[in-house]
Amino acid sequence: MLQNIIVKIRNLDYKSLILLWLKDIRFWIVFFALLRIYGITNPPLEVSHAWRQTTVAMAARNFYEIDPNILYPRIDISEDLTGITGMEFPLLNYLIYLMSLVFGYAHWYGRLINLIVTSIGCWFGYKLLQKYFAERMSFLSIFVLIVSLWFPFARKIMPDTFAMSLVIMGIYFGTNYLEQNNRQFVNLLAYTLLTLAGLLSKLPSGFILAVFAIPIFNKQIALKRKIVFCSVSIMLCVPVAWWYFYWVPYLVNEFGLWHFFMGKDIAEGAREIAEHFGQTLKHFYDYALKFSGFFVFLGGLILSIIRKERLLLAIFGLTFATFWVVILKSGWTFAHHNYYVIPFVPIMALFAGYALASIEKRKLSLLLLIVITLENILNSHTDFKIKEVRNPIAQLESVMDDLSSPTDRIVINSDYNPAPMYFAHRKGWVATNEQLSNLSYLADLQQRGCKYVVILKRAFGENIELNLKVVFESIDYTIYEL
């Protein structure tokens, strides 16, 4: 078979060969993955989500330097505590740790791991769609997904696209098990392990598993196979429930440090969403696919209703209903964090792909795809560079090493942003300028073992002055001995 492919390629002229590549989704998956390699070793200090990335990197580095027990992740904004706290199951963090055992620690391993897993997830998403839809629609849907909000987040040290990609892979193997007679054990095992890994890494990624209601109610699939599949699905939910609803609260109560947002009462979340409904909608019409992509998605949804596309409408109805649970459980947090919409982006990309594939004039379809691509990628350019004012934060460790021991507790005026603490490679507190201007607050920190106050003058504004001994000063920092 391989020889036949090689012979066919040799018989093609260069133009035909290029067209063959451009029509292969694997080319685009690799192309956009290589594009995102640019600046991949950058410190996680880009304009958005530096705080979220550094909390992942903190846990990974602490596995490497302090304790590799995956059940006890710890962060550096630990105040005077151990730093052990509840969080999402630290699979991505632990993979960074495992790479560090071989190559030595570096934060950017997290970027690379996420990019690789997300790229593989896009390939399996394409294979999954090919089973139920035309090849062109499958191609266009995954292409839109690649250039969507997933484009920047696939290279961030965050588990969002990482977890969704694992679940999409799991769905592919799960449908294989239900619908095929060969390699049943392999398909069921792959479904179990991949889905479990995805759900543990990011619980909201499980909303998309609602699509399994479609094959479960398919009378052509054997009842015995459905029973086995449902039983396995329930079993894999047990460790997920144990981690999030027993172990995370236990870590918080036992070690006294709260860090992880576990959602809120649905009624409270609904009230917050109603109050911030405009910002919530913006996640869909702006952040997910940008404006051009949203209107194409909307066109695909309307067209599927007109044409009574039962499978597409079933997918949308099931996932939209379950994703609303995610929205309502998140409340204000969903409305004000754009990455919370990441799990639903594959569904929107599916309908955008359907709309593009339905356009008879290929040139118009191609033009719309180019517009979607350019609008999304050009709006992601800030994720490939670091603002000049933030660059000095990455040098904070070397400054602190000249002044203090790595075990000295410090406080930094970065508000709730933990990124400077990560780069200081210390443990302690983050505080506002107002808090640090309060003498009683400083006295309390001193009693709890804090030894230095770090004021980041340019990065976090307001150049406050404290009545303390200055041990270091530059255009970027003033460091006081407490």
For the chain (482 residues), the mean pLDDT of every run of 10, in chain order, is 59 70 93 95 90 95 98 96 96 98 97 98 98 98 98 97 98 96 94 98 97 95 96 97 97 93 91 96 96 98 98 98 96 94 98 97 96 95 85 94 95 93 97 93 96 92 84 93 92
Determine whether 347 is exposed, middle or buried from the number of CB atoms within 10 Å of its CB (0-12, 13-18, 19+).
buried
Give pLDDT, residue 408: 96
Angle at 163 between CA 69 and CA 158, to 5 degrees: 70
CB 139, CB 182: distance < 8 Å: no
Are β-strands 477-481 and 469-473 bridged in parallel, bridged antiparallel, or unpaired? antiparallel
Are β-strands 450-456 and 469-473 bridged in parallel, bridged antiparallel, or unpaired? unpaired
Bridge partners of 454, per DSSP, are 412, 479
CB 39, CB 384: distance < 8 Å: yes
Give pLDDT, residue 32: 97
**CA–CA separation, 260 vs 73, rounded Å?**
12
Amino acid at residue number 253: N
**CA–CA separation, 111 vs 36, rounded Å?**
10
**CA–CA separation, 196 vs 36, rounded Å?**
28
The dihedral over CA atoms of 48, 52, 56, 59, expressed in degrees to the nearest 10, equals 130
Distance from chain centroid for Cα 9 = 38
Q: Could you write out the DSSP letters of every residue in 207-240?
A: GGGGGGHHHHT-TTS-HHHHHHHHHHHHHHHHHH
Strands lying side by side in the sheet with 469-473: 427-430, 409-412, 450-456, 477-481, 469-473
**CA–CA separation, 398 vs 401, rounded Å?**
5
Tokens of 52: 């979220």
Please state the pTM of the whole predicted model: 0.94
